[in-house]
Structure 1
Amino acid sequence: MDTIWRPIKETGHLTEKIVSRIEQIIDESNLIAGSRLPSERDLARLLGVSRPALREAVKTLEAHGRVVVRHGQGVFVNASADEVMRIRLANQEVSMTELYAMRNVLEAPAAGWAANSATDEEIERLRVALEAEEEIRTQPTDYGRLAELDAGFHLMIVEIAKNRFLLQTVGILQEMMAAGMETTLTVPGRLDRSRQDHRAIFEAIRDHDGEAARIACSSHIIGAREAALLRIRGVESPE
């Protein structure tokens, strides 16, 4: 298995070599759909290739359906099952309310599990993600970047919960909701409320308080749903 990490010689057909090697890594490491590959920097270093060359290979893999790139989050293993689920959900014209309800069903318990199982290292990673999100909120508003950080914070919690099928499912829901996330964050008062909610979720996970984490996450998702519906109706938030 160690041979899959040997440096690649940067000679002819480099993109094809990198594509082949990443596919080998996915297959031989038994990575399931939803598994995240190493960061671009780490993967380029491990394979001994430049980051531009790696990006070209990742584009090819994405075009072939082997991986999916979630901006601000990383590169994830894709699978035909994922695509089937996306198509089914899209064809059923799932409403915003239904999507938020599903988030609540999945993510609130995940926050509780994360609080119960989080290691010191995972708590530190979550703290760094939270502070990056809080920092950008103090700057001229870039809603696209905020949406990426928001989604990344929630996905990290699901990762800490250590349930790979849950991670895969939440990732799909996030992709479906990505188009509406910016609208949610533009509702007056929502940015500050979201910041407070994320801080409460983090503190509960840090304190290993599973019930508090579950309640804080559920309250946050319900508030986000209400803000989204207000925006859709063209009504300003009373906050």
Structure 2
Amino acid sequence: MDEIFSKIGTTQTLSQKIERKIEEAIRQKKLVQGVKLPSEKELCELFGVSRTALREALRRLNARGLIEIRKGSGMYVSEIKIEDAIKSLNLYYDLSFDSNLISQIIEVRRIFEPEISRLAARNRTDEDIKILTENIADLERCDPDNTQQEVDTINRFHMNLAKATGNPIIIISLEPIYSLLPRMRNFIYANVEGEKEFTMNAQRNILAAVEAKDEERAYLETEKLVIRNHEVYERYLKKVFK
């Protein structure tokens, strides 16, 4: 602990230097997730600073989610979860939602989703196939007047396809994007004839390829679906979301 909480000079803002010092220790895993930090009094002595400067640094670290302050217990290095990263991206995309973002998302999907299906075909388990099959069955049973239920079910299929890759980074990257798609799909399935049927058939073809572990076919079937999504956006949605 002494090398982490050593005394620091006063040439810069003390609170910023304290914040940077603790953050660096967390990033370098000298302070691991869940570990309890020394008390405020101990930290003041270790750093050789006032309580005011220390508290300002701790307040900022807490606001950034790097440490957790538990009343009556102490201060702990936060445990960073995948869900936290996804929530931050969800907020960013929600606040940035416009026609430009939609176009960019479609471009990203066209680049990544075929490769995701290829990887899912390679790594999928029997349980993944069961879940994806249930997703399609749920979509077939959806009330045609309940567009929201339909789009939520379609999104679940694609998220579960991403999970079938076995790569958590893909889930972090794609889940916030999929969270925006219901806004588009609600409009599509309510107003564009035949799109739900096209999507169901595309999902069946993707599932068949993934189940057969046919990586190339999984790639091509997914590419067809994303290209169709882009065509629909250009034809029907571009003006709506301006």
Please give the TM-score of this superposition, normalised by the length of structure 1: 0.60
Answer with 190-199 or 89-98: which moved more.
89-98
Compared with structure 1, are the counterparts of its residues 157 and 80 closer, same or farther at alpha carbon in structure 2 (3 Å cutoff)?
closer
Which letter maps to 2:157? Answer: F
Matched with 1:61 is: none
Pairwise mapping of residues 41-190 of structure 1 onto structure 2 (< 5 A)?
77-79=83-85, 82-83=88-89, 86=92, 90=96, 94-136=100-142, 139-186=143-190, 187-190=192-195
CA contact (8 A) 1:183 1:231 kept: no
Compared with structure 1, are the counterparts of its residues 105 and 82 closer, same or farther at alpha carbon in structure 2 (3 Å cutoff)?
farther
* In the alignment, structure 1 residue 212 sits paired with structure 2 residue 214: no
CA contact (8 A) 2:99 2:238 kept: no
What are structure 1's unaligned runs of at least 5 residues? 1-19, 21-26, 34-76
Deviations 1:53-96 (A, max 9, x none): xxxxxxxxxxxxxxxxxxxxxxxx22388349826982896343
CA distance in 2, matches of 1:216, 1:89: 32
CA distance in 2, matches of 1:193, 1:153: 15
Q: 3-state DSSP class of the match of 2:193?
A: coil
Report the CA distance between 1:123 and its aligned residue: 0.8
CA contact (8 A) 1:103 1:221 kept: yes
CA distance in 2, matches of 1:84, 1:152: 16
Deviations 1:174-216 (A, max 9, x none): 1233311211223111111111101100100111101111111
Which letter maps to 2:213? Answer: H
Answer with 77-86 or 218-227: which moved more.
77-86
Q: Which runs of structure 1 show a deviation greater than 4 angstroms over 4 or more consecutive aligned residues?
A: none
Q: 3-state DSSP class of the match of 1:79?
A: helix
Report the CA distance between 1:228 and its aligned residue: 2.6
CA contact (8 A) 1:114 1:161 kept: yes
CA contact (8 A) 1:86 1:172 kept: no
Matched with 1:193 is: 198
CA distance in 2, matches of 1:191, 1:87: 25
CA distance in 2, matches of 1:121, 1:140: 28
Report the CA distance between 1:148 and its aligned residue: 0.2
Report the CA distance between 1:105 and its aligned residue: 1.5
Answer with 171-180 or 190-199: which moved more.
171-180
CA distance in 2, matches of 1:111, 1:167: 13
CA contact (8 A) 2:90 2:179 kept: no
Identity %: 16
Question: Residue 230 of structure 2: which of 225, 230, 239 is its match?
Answer: 225
CA distance in 2, matches of 1:87, 1:140: 28
Answer with 148-157 or 159-168: which moved more.
159-168
CA contact (8 A) 1:106 1:170 kept: no
Compared with structure 1, are the counterparts of its residues 219 and 163 closer, same or farther at alpha carbon in structure 2 (3 Å cutoff)?
same
Compared with structure 1, are the counterparts of its residues 88 and 224 closer, same or farther at alpha carbon in structure 2 (3 Å cutoff)?
closer
CA distance in 2, matches of 1:234, 1:91: 14
Larger Rg: 2
Which letter maps to 2:100? Answer: V
Matched with 2:50 is: none
Report the CA distance between 1:102 and its aligned residue: 0.5
Report the CA distance between 1:99 and its aligned residue: 1.2
CA distance in 2, matches of 1:80, 1:140: 30
Which letter maps to 1:99? Answer: I
